[in-house]
């Protein structure tokens, strides 16, 4: 796990994003573990075709 201390700006309550070609998962700085779990569950159910 690598944490970037100066990540590009993301909405604090936005969904996580991924770049699968780089095995990269971008997580906004959520205020709690419960919000993190909720957002990961929501993002996993949506998927993307882009």
Rounded CA-CA distance 31/37 in Å is 11
* Catalytic entry in 21, 23, 33, 46: 21
Contact 26, 4 (CB under 8 A): no
Listed in sequence order, the residues at least 6 apart from 21 whose beta carbon sits closer than 8 Å to its beta carbon are none
- Residue 2 designated active-site: no
Catalytic residues: 21
């Amino acid at each position: 796990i690598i944490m970037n201390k100066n990540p590009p700006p993301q909405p604090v309550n936005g969904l996580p994003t991924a770049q699968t070609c780089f095995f990269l998962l971008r997580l906004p700085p959520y205020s709690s573990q419960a919000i993190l779990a909720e957002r990961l569950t929501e993002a996993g159910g949506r998927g993307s075709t882009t």
